[in-house]
Chain A
Amino acid sequence: MKLSHLIRREILHRKLGFALATVSAAVAVAGLVAARAMLQKHDARTEQIITAREAQTRAQMARMEDDYRKMMLKMGFNVLILPKDQNLGDLYAEDYASKYMPEEYATRLARSRVVTINHILPSLQQKIQWPEYARTVLLMGVRGEVYVQNARQQPLLAPVAAGTMVLGHELAKNLKLEAGQQTKLMGREFTVARINPERGNKDDITVWINLAEAQSLLDKPGLINGILALDCTCDTLDRLARIRPEIARILPDTQIVEYASQALARAEARQRAATEAQASLQREKEGRTRLRQEREALAAVLVPVITAGSGVWLGLLALANVRERRDEIGILRALGLRSRQILLIFLGKAVVIGLAGAGLGYALGRGLGMWWRETPDAAAPTLGFWDVHLLALVLVAAPLLAALASWLPALIAAQQDPADVLREA
């Protein structure tokens, strides 16, 4: 016979005491396991929230960048190169330049590899009376982009093919013109290629046609009256100071004005929004960290309190067990068992209680942790039942706790004088 057999029989004989002790150990283990599961879930939830927020912010930023790119195309985050003798007052009053320069300027500018300009868009524009409809429109001849870097560069402006036109929103609506329809401009046949969306500016009454056709219609062969130079590097706000001398060097009889600075304001606003999005993401992260700290602090108080309570309770139960077994201890000593063996009988039982409590407590605590959720929404993170490390930890810690709690009672049992009980008649 072995001591383990004795321990097993005794446990089976006093099931209630064993159950009480096991539940007590299980409560401590469950507290620890549940706290840990809660923190794991918290972390998973945080991860979820932050990932979603990051994706949202990323999407927002991408949308913003795209908007920005289009904005630069529409209104130009850019400079406008004009003939030197163009009166700016006239330009603003009339919406177009009245002086001209050779179209070749655009090519020259492009060839000179001006590093600060990435896109060069020559145009010929003039406010005209659309004779066929008796309507004032802004006629804009464009030839697409004169590439600065190389032909594979992403074009900012699709060229308008000869024989087609692109119409501003208000104009098309007013004239009841739709894409695909045929119409005449100054006697020439055009197909409406596209209607631009409403932009709320003079673009809405603009007719875009091929540059060569515009030159011919307006009788300005080989001439343009503006070059939109778009800088997409966007690195400094004071880029005018950088671009101006460069262009003056290449095209001496031109002047440069910054164009549509409201785009800049909007870009700045968007930038602020981006910064704000980042900051709110940061705040969210900090909030989650704070919440975790609070939960950790709560666990750091509750778990030791529960563990200590459980330890005391285990100790009292062990003491009651020792008292109940006085007679048995006496006779076992008389039979020759050494006091160390008596100690082992009680500590062995404590270890069994600890192991059973660890198993039960793990299942309870993990179950609780799996059931708990921060928010009732279905996307809340889930938790698997097995956390091997934690299970291993409690399978070691709970028997240790139980053995520690039973140490004093076991020592009392081991020190008990057998003569005391054996003398009793």
Chain B
Amino acid sequence: MSEGLTRRRLVVLGAAGVASLAGPRGLAARSELEVGKPVSPDALPAREASWYKRLPERRVECQLCPRGCQVADAERGSCGVRENRGGTYYTLVYGLACTVHVDPIEKKPFFHVLPGKTALSYATAGCNVECKFCQNWEISQFRPEQVRSWWMPPKALVNLAQRLGTPLTAATYSEPVVFWEYVRDAAHAARSAGLRPTVVSNGYIQEKPLRDVLPLLTAYKVDLKSFRERFYKELVRGELKPVLKTLEVARAAGAWVEIVVLIVPTWNDSEAEARDLARWVKTNLGPDVPVHLTRFHPTYRLTDLPPTPVTKLERLWQVVRSEGLHFVYLGNVPGHPGENTVCPGCGATVIKRLGYRILDNRLKGDRCPDCNRKIPGVWS
């Protein structure tokens, strides 16, 4: 949640910039589409979806996220980016980037993945849930024809990352689950080019598509919105259980996983909930999975609450650490010691941060320079 984009802050590489960077190695454009050029709302490129089944009467069942939308002909699923055309299901956002931006990897936030490096971050319109506190609602809660988008097929995206010198890519900002075919092919292209693909997601995905893409990813960040179903029902229009399942599957598959929890005043800021969450993470994922507790700021449909008091965040930070998790961070509180990586063995600060900047990185390879304890992560 810390990487919100407002319309003003949203930096999209314009047509000329992307086109020139895509260069001769850019994907051969489809006849009506040119790499890096805006796509007309009336000519969205449709590509058959990879995870769905056909039902009688030209209906389909989407098998991408746990919502499992059953969609009649001419209709779209809840995410608004998948459409049934005569009994065949299509994604309307494959290669259709509405934002492409170079970010520090700390902004995602990944704190245990190539510190100080940058990620070519991209998104399409659409989301499979509707968080009332969404910071990126101007792209996540709209349909693709309502958002200005550019044709950036996977290879063009990777080509751009190479030219900009970003060693990582990140599917992020809106909800990568709804553009999962694009994520898969972009991750594949990134791997082939020696880049590291990452995903920042709500984790609300079915197991099959998750398993299909996990092996391609360097790191997977999940927004665990809360540890209570009530929160998911009332503020997210989603469910907690499938997200926990996703975390277990991802961790068991060996992907590097980090978790972010946005602390929303009065909704998920109780010590009891923080303790339950910490215990679940420790038991099911292990104590080495980083957990970022981040500060809420009022936005979208949740504007009647104040920002999370820093004292409250600090208290929850203590509670979660006291349950035995090794790497608990505070987010959206620049300059707080909770931004630093501390060795769980000797207590030495091994990475010092200020916001998204690395002030000091004392890691020796993957080890604490003081006690030689291994610090888990993707460091090189």
A and B, one complex?
Answer: no
> B residues engaging A (CB < 8 A)?
none
